[in-house]
Amino acid sequence: MKRTAFTLIELLVVIAIIAILIGLLLPAVQKVREAANRMACQNHLKQIGLALHNYHDTNDGFPAGYGGGDGSDNLELGGFCGFVHLLPYLEQESLFRRWDLNAKWYEPPNFDLVGTQLKVFYCPSNRTRGVVDFSFLVPIAGRPLPNPAACDYLMCKGANAALCDLVQIPPAGRGVFDVNTHTRLTDITDGTSQTFAVGEGAGNNRRFGYRRFWPDTTPATGLFPGQSPYIDQSWSAGPAATNALHSLGLMGGGCHGVTALRGGHADPFDEPMNRSLALPGFDCNHGCTNAETAPNTYDTVPGFRSMHTGGCHFLFCDGSVRFVREGLAPNVYRALSTIEGGEAVNDP
C-alpha cells in the first residue's frame, strides 16, 4: 500500500532540524538587533551633543549640570538637572516654556512635567521607556510626589564627586558640568576632543545595584521599603536624597557621572566603568572638595555604566561620540573626564 503520511520519526527529525536552525539563527538576530540599538544609542548622544552646542552658542556656555530650586541650597531644596535647559534644542520648546525654573522639580507646574518620557534620553540597549518610581516615598516625604521620567545618560562631573553650591574642587578633578557652573569651550584647556561631556548611565537594570560607601563590595542594605535596589536617575530631577523630602539615604544617582570620587587628592577613589555596585548621588555636607576619606565625610556620585559589552559610549565636548573601553587605565580615564587637569592623553 502507498504511504500518504509522515511517520512519527520523520516528523521528529524535521522538528529537530528546524530547532537547530532557529538556534543557529537567534544569535545572529540578537547581534543585529544589538548593533541597531547601539547605533540608536550613539545617535541619541549625538542629538544631545548638538543641543549642547546650540545652547552654548546661544548662552555663551554650557548649562549647569545641576541648578534651580530656590537658589539657597540647590541640593537640599529640589533643584533639577541640566538636561532641562536643553529641551528647546531637542524639539521640546513647548515643554520648556511650561517649566518653572524657580520651582522645585516636584512642585507645580513641574510636578506635571517631570514624568514626560523623551525617547532621546533612553538607550535602547537598556530600555525605551520608564520612570523612577517614587510612590514608596510619598508617606515618608509627607507630600504627593511625581514619578520622573528616567534617563540613561549622565552629564560628566569630572573626577571628583564633591557637591557644593560654590565649586571648590581642585582643577585636576573638575568636569564640564557641576552645580551652578557655566563652562565655556574656552575653559576646556585639556582639549574638547579629549574631554567627556556626557556618558552612558544605564538605569533600573539588574546589572547595576547599590553600594553604600566607596570601598564596599556587597550590596547596600537598609533601603526604604518598596524602593528599587537598582540605581536609576531622571533627566529632570537631581539627587532625591534631601532633608526636604526626609529621604536622606540611598535614593538614586542624579544626572551626574564621575570617573573618581576624590580627583585632585592623593588617593582619588577611582570609579571604573560598569562597576556592578554603583554609588548613590549623596551630599554629606562635609566640605566642598572631598578631601576626607572616612565614610560619610565625602560626597558620592555614581560612575558611568552601559549594557554594551566592554565599555560605554561617550559624547565628547567637540560633539563626537566614541566608544571607550572599560579597561582604560584609571589615570587616563580620569584625565578624559576633566577640563583643566593639564594631562596629555592619547585618543581612547
CB 289 within 8 A of CB 170: yes
- Each residue of 29-81: pLDDT tens digit? 566 676 788 899 999 999 999 999 999 999 999 999 988 654 445 455 578 89
Q: Do 270 and 170 contact (CB within 8 A), yes or no?
A: no
Peptide bond into 280 cis (omega under 30): no
CA distance 161 to 132: 22
Whether pLDDT at 3 is above 60: no
Asked if pLDDT for residue 92 goes beyond 80, the answer is: yes
pLDDT at 238 over 60: yes
- Residue 2: inside a domain, yes or no? no
Q: Is 194 helix (H, G, I), strand (E, B) or coil?
A: helix
Phi, psi torsion values for 82, nearest 5 degrees: -65, -20
Q: What is the pLDDT of residue 204?
A: 96
Q: What is the pLDDT of residue 72?
A: 46
C-alpha triplet 262, 345, 174: angle, nearest 5°: 30
Q: Which residue type, as a one-letter code, is found at position 165?
A: D
DSSP 8-class letter at 23 = H
Answer yes or no: is 14 within a domain: yes
Phi-psi region of 275 (alpha: psi -120 to 50; beta: other; left: phi over 0): beta
User: How far is it, in rounded angstroms, from Cα 337 to Cα 259?
Assistant: 7
Instruction: Give the percent of the chain with pLDDT over 90.
Output: 69
**Whole-Å CA distances, 273 to 99, 104, 345:** 33, 31, 18
The model's pLDDT over 131-152, given as tens digits with 9 standing for 90+, comes to 999 999 999 999 999 999 999 9
Cα–Cα distance for residue pair 62/121, rounded to 1 Å = 18
- Span 148-169, mean pLDDT? 94
Per the model's pLDDT, the better-predicted residue between 33 and 218 turns out to be 218
Number of H helices, E strands in the chain: 4, 9
pLDDT score of 306 more than 80 = yes
Average pLDDT, the chain: 90
Average pLDDT over residues 165-179: 92
Is 99 inside a domain boundary? Answer: yes
pLDDT confidence of 294, banded at 50, 70, 90? very high
The pTM (predicted TM-score) of the whole model is 0.89
130 within domain boundaries: yes
Considering 114-118, 167-171, 249-253, the range whose residues carry the highest mean pLDDT is 114-118
Report if residue 170 sits inside a domain: yes
| Confidence band of 280 (pLDDT split at 50, 70, 90) | very high
**Would you say residue 1 lies in a domain?**
no
- Residue 27 counted as domain residue: yes
Phi, psi values for residue 324, rounded to 5°? -110, 125
Tens-place pLDDT, residues 193-211: 999 999 999 999 999 999 9
Tell me whether residue 180 is in a domain. Answer: yes
Q: d(Cα 259, Cα 289) in Å, to the nearest integer?
A: 15
* All cell numbers assigned to 286: 562635609
pLDDT, residue 283, reads 87
Domain of 165 in residue numbering reads as 9-348
Mean pLDDT of 109-115: 96
Overall number of domains in the chain: 1
